[in-house]
Amino acid sequence: MKRQDSEIFHDEALCKKSFVTGENFKSQNCLGVHLINDEQGEFYVFRVWAPNAQEVFLVGDFNDWKDTEPMTYDKETGIWEIITDLPNEMDLYKFHVTQQNGRKIMKIDPFSKMFEKRPGNASVVYIEKEKKWKDGLFKGRHKRSNHFKRPLNIYEVHASSFKQHTNGNPYTFKDLTEELVPYLVQMNYTHVEFMPLMEHPLDQSWGYQLIGYFALCSTYGTPEEFQEFVEACHLNNIGVLVDWVPGHFCVNDDALAYYDGTPQFEYVDPERAENRRWGSINFDLGRPEVQSFLISSILYWVETFHIDGIRVDAVSSMIYRNYDDGPFTLNHEGGYTNLEGYYFLQKLNAVMKNEHPEVLMIAEESSSETKITGSIENSLGFDYKWNMGWMNDILRFYEMDPLFRGDNFNLMTFSFMYMMEERFILPLSHDEVVHGKKSLMHKMWGDRYKQFAQLRNLYTYLITHPGKKLLFMGSEWGQFLEWKFNEELEWVDLEDELNQQMQFFTSELNEFYRQSSCLWELEDTRETIEIIDADNKSDTVLSFIRQGKKKKDFYIVILNMTPVERKNFQIGVPYEGTYEEVWNTEMKEFGGTWEKHNKSCETSNNEFKQFDYSIETTVPALGALILKPADVRINRKK
């Protein structure tokens, strides 16, 4: 039984029209599959955008995959539709499309909210149920507060390789609710970030080549299970971030690629459509229907799953025409900027700030030519940008033999020159522990003991350097082997005492960060830091102050980058009085050798650079110290 087009509601007609003008940011409410219940009975309506197709049939389990259910075409919008009572919920379906050139091909539903499990790839007739959320306190608190002035410490996770069952199957979100949420609490992280969770056909892409922009990958369980996971995180005061890929999509012939036989989701220019670097296809970000599709996708994830932040992947590839390998054309102004991508991202962030200003918008972007964070008028409008420069410099430095670190000390300190140009996240991410780059632990110079010492030093620098924090899973205990996307983490490492102590160190450091307001409440201002000494190349020791709102709320950070203990080491301090050690990476419980902290330090009147007073302490070999004022007098002379 079918219903006629005249019975479609007026608001659905408006929904279709706004989709093609690029202003429908809830287009999943119109396209895809929907259930209608009225006096005539129960029906399903299917809609798909394929403006240049000759013919489209709805096929599936319910009609033996035969062309018995023709869809009708709306010339004004390019949308095909059918209303029928044939399917049952959870049936499989596709659209049998006769493309512009007459080629017939089975295509997925771009708006499908569920796919069958691999190796199948059909869409599923799935109607989501409205969830009664219990996270109102968490959501309300975050709406009212300023996230720039809160701690943000992210644990980055690849969902299917965090843990796996004994048969090799990855954990679903039901499993992760039981295992990962308590672990996040134990490790004192404020947020968890997932590499893309949307449907993708190939694990080797890590989720960065998508086919389903509205569907949780079937490997990870059901949408309801993911909702329960997010709610459990929120009830434990943990935010949830998700990676999202609006720049390019999977080349699979049965997915979005040349859907109706013409450039539809992709650029008309084949050179601009082809993403040679990643073997994928670039979205035409200037096309209104594509803008509706992508912005609807991000809002769907935020609203359906209560996501607290989105990391937009590969922003550079979206805003520069010369980013990819191979030939490129200049824009109509004669420049390298991809204007369509630039204005799309501004539009995306404007919509997000209007709809959900509390949701963090994060850019993974590797250049310095374009302002990424800030107001829409002066930038792309993101809240945060990954600091790829800091990450590259720091890892080069820590991999280096200490004999050469003094001559390359600028790698350690250069970020101080530009740290306020954007709002940064400091990422030690998955990209740095794969493809022969070695794990963070393996990158460290020296024997195993020295590697752990330097890892503790590195994480202390991460936590005390201005900017929000991100660490990839397994790095918290010093996993030695590289990350493998198809295997679980090396949890067996934790049978070793040094790995246990490293894990404990990270947990304690994370809690130290959460409880230390001077490490985050002013970090979007220059007042957050004062350099004590960034020129000590001979000793290769870096020292600086992190300042909170109150004058006496500050830390002194000292990082020794050599395997030489520095006794009676002098640094300048801002005020006269007593300073006590509150953090020492070489304490025995962390895997070091020190059983007691340094004694409290009394100032002397010896001037040190811009400071009127100085103190002396012992800095462990390859160690890091943090001191705080215990009893000081605010009487700075200069």
Instruction: Report whether pLDDT(565) > 70.
Output: yes
What is the spatial order of strands in the sheet that 624-633 belongs to?
A: 529-533, 541-547, 554-560, 624-633, 576-584, 601-602
Q: Average pLDDT of 598-613?
A: 95
Res 39: pLDDT: 77
Res 636: pLDDT: 55
Q: Average pLDDT of 77-98?
A: 96
Confidence band for 11, pLDDT divided at 50, 70 and 90: confident
Res 637: pLDDT: 55
Q: Average pLDDT of 243-261?
A: 97
Res 2: pLDDT: 46
Res 326: pLDDT: 84
Cα separation of 485 and 160, whole Å?
8
Cα separation of 71 and 46, whole Å?
9
Q: Average pLDDT of 149-164?
A: 97
Cα separation of 225 and 230, whole Å?
9
Query: Tens digits of per-residue pLDDT, 352-361?
Result: 999 999 999 9
Q: Does this chain's domain 5-124 share its CATH topology with 527-633?
A: yes
In terms of Cα–Cα distance, which of 253, 217, 249 is closest to 118? Answer: 217
Torsion of CA 318, 322, 328, 331, to 10 degrees: 70
3-class state of residue 144 by DSSP: helix
3-class state of residue 35 by DSSP: strand
The mean pLDDT of the chain is 95
Tokens of 342: 């630039």
Q: Average pLDDT of 137-152?
A: 91
Instruction: Report whether pLDDT(5) > 60.
Output: no
Res 8: pLDDT: 40
Res 14: pLDDT: 86
DSSP 282-311: EB-TTSHHHHHHHHHHHHHHHHHH---EEE
Instruction: Report whether pLDDT(4) > 80.
Output: no
Query: Tens digits of per-residue pLDDT, 508-553?
Result: 999 999 999 999 999 989 999 999 999 999 999 999 999 999 999 9
- Percentage of the chain beyond pLDDT 70 is 98
Cα separation of 201 and 155, whole Å?
25
Question: Does 151-518 carry CATH code 3.30.1360.170?
Answer: no
- Residues 405 and 561 sit within 8 Å (Cβ to Cβ): yes
Q: Average pLDDT of 201-207?
A: 93
Q: Please list the active-site residues.
A: 313, 364
Instruction: Report whether pLDDT(334) > 50.
Output: yes
Cα separation of 632 and 317, whole Å?
51
- Residues 573 and 616 sit within 8 Å (Cβ to Cβ): no
Higher-scoring residue by pLDDT: 228, 10: 228
Instruction: Report whether pLDDT(393) > 60.
Output: yes
Spatial neighbors of 472 by CB under 8 A, at least 6 apart, are 156, 428, 429, 430, 432, 433, 483
What residue segments make up the domains of the chain, in order of their start? Answer: 5-124, 151-518, 527-633
Query: Tens digits of per-residue pLDDT, 32-62?
Result: 999 998 877 899 999 999 999 999 999 999 9
Please state which of the ranges 203-217, 322-336, 473-487 shows the lowest mean pLDDT.
322-336
What is the topology classification, in CATH, of domain 527-633? Answer: Immunoglobulin-like (2.60.40)
Q: Regarding beta strands 123-124 and 92-98, do their DSSP bridges make them parallel or antiparallel, or are they unpaired?
A: antiparallel
Which CATH superfamily is 5-124 part of? Immunoglobulins (2.60.40.10)
Spatial neighbors of 129 by CB under 8 A, at least 6 apart, are 224
Q: Average pLDDT of 257-266?
A: 98
